[in-house]
Structure 1
Amino acid sequence: MPQIQLTNVGSQKRIDSYLAEVLEIPRNQIQKWIEKGKVCINGYVVNKNYKLKGEEKITFEPVEFEKPNLKVSDCDIKILYEDDFLVVVDKPAGIVVHPGAANEELSVVGALLYRGVKLSDIGVPLRPGVVHRIDKDTSGVIVLAKDNNVHFNLANQFAAHICKRYYIGVCEGHLKDYHGTIETQIGRHLKNRKIFSVTQGKHAITHYKVIMRLKDMDVVRFELETGRTHQIRVHMQYLNHPLVGDSVYSKTKSKIITRQALHAFYLGFYHPISNKFLKFYSKLSEDILNLLGLKED
């Protein structure tokens, strides 16, 4: 496989931790690449303990994974933008970004492959092209990479908080403050390892602003500074205002919406080749409009 190159723009983590977080690959796999001399900093092979200083040029040659049997079939996704390097998709609720342990029949990755879209292959085998993810029952816009260098560039933009991501969510009750920042650690729940909670784990920052206050719920705009699994959902539960319809983090069942009321409506990032800042929007889904009493004609 060809070498991947990146200029580290600020991280001061250990090289194995940094690559594992950016690429969402298990750290022990990254360490195997390092042990085989596949990772260089400023042209020199380093060990797994090397601590980044913030300005290094990183080059590495990924060890190719065994190709899995991905289920390839079309589904109701909309391509908002596509070129030779990346593809931007509007994902409906109910479809996973990529197959997981449940070996889902329908996924964004499977639909793109079905349509003949080439995806990068430096990530975990079941996640070709996947730079970032949104939950199965969260709708909205995501970007996938076609090229390995592009994948790494985009992944680094997310890790360095260069990308802009905005969500619209509907929470139960009324938040005390109209705007604020939630900064905690998020990790696996101590009793239920399938879900997450505010506990010892990874640093997580969510900015929020109430944009509409209804009778018994708030419509909130969220900006993610970090991208932890279930981050917004966990943070809203932490504030005792879980998202409406969230079957995992709320004890209240909605009569109107059957999934968490969360929509990724905006994504902005620098194109890895042209360096032009691209902006993409996704309209609110029909079920959230129904919840707000704003059903389209």
Structure 2
Amino acid sequence: MPQTQQIINTDTQKRIDSYLAEILDIPRNQIQKWIEKGKVCVNGKVVSKNYKLKGEEKISFEPIEFEKPNLKIADCDIKILYEDDFLVVVDKPAGVVVHPGAGSEHKSVVGALLFRGIKLSDIGAPLRPGVVHRIDKDTSGVIVLAKDNNTHFKLANQFALHISKRYYIGICEGHIKDSFGTIKTQIGRHPIKRKQFAVVQGKLAVTHYKVIMRLKDMDIVRFELETGRTHQIRVHMQYLNHPLVGDSVYSKSSKLIQRHALHAFYLGFFHPNSNKFLKFYSKLPKDMIELIG
């Protein structure tokens, strides 16, 4: 029997189904099924899917368990940095997706963990068990996955409330004018190139950056994510006219590296059971070290 979860919302004028779908990274139609079954309450009262939040309300919900999908299960070159009864922290190499998608990916972090007999939460989208947050296929680095639903919700709430800490190292084209700063925009689907994202009307995206070294024609930059939009760092650096080296989607490919130069080197969060703050690091991969020279 799924346990009832609670979230104190910090948003206003957003529909309850959209809000939960966003912070939990679960398709809105799945959230709507919970609501239709009377499993979602705001301040103790059952609400409809189009209920608009007023801010600082207590949202409680009891997830409906769905049939587990038929996932492609195969091992791949991932490194487990930490594992206990509640969660697993993984160091993901570039070229491996976090979870299978509609494409033809045969190897994924999720598939590798299931192959190794590691149980994951079952409340995500059909192909995303355990996935609390994601990094791009060609971004390397550290991520956390949940083993049970209670852990999944608690971790998701930390990401939604910006309690967790995420730092990246990126290598950007040219030299950024300011040595540090914050990029605060909205990000949405590109109006023409639908597989891309852009600084257009969409969801709030906040990226903090600090240049840590200036090379001949590149900057090594540390990024801190306050929000976690798809392609956020890549879009924001294109917006500053200093895209990531090797980013063939938002700039151009490079002979020096076969992917965009971005690495998630640090992840910190409170353990959902012990409440101890955990910190995990991932070493800069060989291709980025060689790019720096």
TM over 0.5: yes
Q: Deviations over 1:186-243 (max 9, x none)?
A: 1111111111111111110100000000000000000001000000000001111100
Mean CA deviation greater in 194-203 or 34-43:
34-43
Query: 1:11 & 1:113 partners in 2: Cα distance?
Result: 35
- Which residue pairs with 1:80 in the alignment? 81
- Which residue pairs with 1:116 in the alignment? 117
Mean CA deviation greater in 257-266 or 44-53:
44-53
Mean CA deviation greater in 132-141 or 29-38:
29-38
Query: 1:254 & 1:116 partners in 2: Cα distance?
Result: 38
- Which residue pairs with 1:254 in the alignment? 254
The reply to whether residue 140 of structure 1 matches residue 141 of structure 2 is yes
- Which residue pairs with 2:187 in the alignment? 186
Q: Deviations over 1:78-133 (max 9, x none)?
A: 00011100000000000000000114110000000011110001110100000000
SS at match of 1:237: helix
- Which residue pairs with 1:264 in the alignment? 264
- Which residue pairs with 1:7 in the alignment? 7
The amino acid across from 1:91 in the alignment is: K
Query: 2:142 & 2:16 partners in 1: Cα distance?
Result: 30
Task: Report if aligned partners of 2:140, 2:264 keep a CA contact under 8 Å in 1.
Answer: yes
1:39–1:9 CA distance, 2 compared to 1 (3 A): closer
Equivalent pairs counted in the alignment come to: 292
Q: Deviations over 1:244-285 (max 9, x none)?
A: 01110113x311100000000000001111111111000000
Task: Report if aligned partners of 1:211, 1:221 keep a CA contact under 8 Å in 2.
Answer: yes
The reply to whether residue 16 of structure 1 matches residue 13 of structure 2 is no
Of all paired residues, the percent bearing the same amino acid is 81
Residue 55 of structure 1 deviates from its aligned partner by 4.4
Query: 1:204 & 1:7 partners in 2: Cα distance?
Result: 21
Query: 2:174 & 2:4 partners in 1: Cα distance?
Result: 48
Task: Report if aligned partners of 2:170, 2:220 keep a CA contact under 8 Å in 1.
Answer: yes
Residue 9 of structure 1 deviates from its aligned partner by 5.7
The amino acid across from 1:40 in the alignment is: C
Task: Report if aligned partners of 2:2, 2:64 keep a CA contact under 8 Å in 1.
Answer: no
1:55–1:199 CA distance, 2 compared to 1 (3 A): closer
- Which residue pairs with 2:166 in the alignment? 165
Task: Report if aligned partners of 2:7, 2:157 keep a CA contact under 8 Å in 1.
Answer: no
The amino acid across from 1:163 in the alignment is: S
Q: TM-score, normalised by structure 2?
A: 0.96
Query: 2:64 & 2:152 partners in 1: Cα distance?
Result: 16
Q: TM-score, normalised by structure 1?
A: 0.94
Q: State how 1:16-95 maps to structure 2 within 5 Å.
A: 16-95=17-96
Task: Report if aligned partners of 2:68, 2:122 keep a CA contact under 8 Å in 1.
Answer: no
Query: 1:18 & 1:86 partners in 2: Cα distance?
Result: 24
Task: Report if aligned partners of 2:10, 2:55 keep a CA contact under 8 Å in 1.
Answer: yes
Mean CA deviation greater in 210-219 or 51-60:
51-60
Query: 1:70 & 1:84 partners in 2: Cα distance?
Result: 22
- Which residue pairs with 1:278 in the alignment? 278
**Unmatched 5+ stretches in structure 2:** none
Query: 1:273 & 1:32 partners in 2: Cα distance?
Result: 28
SS at match of 1:33: helix
Query: 1:121 & 1:53 partners in 2: Cα distance?
Result: 30
Residue 54 of structure 1 deviates from its aligned partner by 4.7
Query: 2:169 & 2:215 partners in 1: Cα distance?
Result: 14
Query: 1:276 & 1:130 partners in 2: Cα distance?
Result: 21
The reply to whether residue 231 of structure 1 matches residue 249 of structure 2 is no
Query: 1:233 & 1:224 partners in 2: Cα distance?
Result: 12
Task: Report if aligned partners of 1:4, 1:152 keep a CA contact under 8 Å in 2.
Answer: no
SS at match of 2:159: helix
Residue 49 of structure 1 deviates from its aligned partner by 3.6
Mean CA deviation greater in 114-123 or 38-47:
38-47
**Unmatched 5+ stretches in structure 1:** none
CA RMSD of aligned residues (A): 1.4
Query: 1:114 & 1:150 partners in 2: Cα distance?
Result: 21
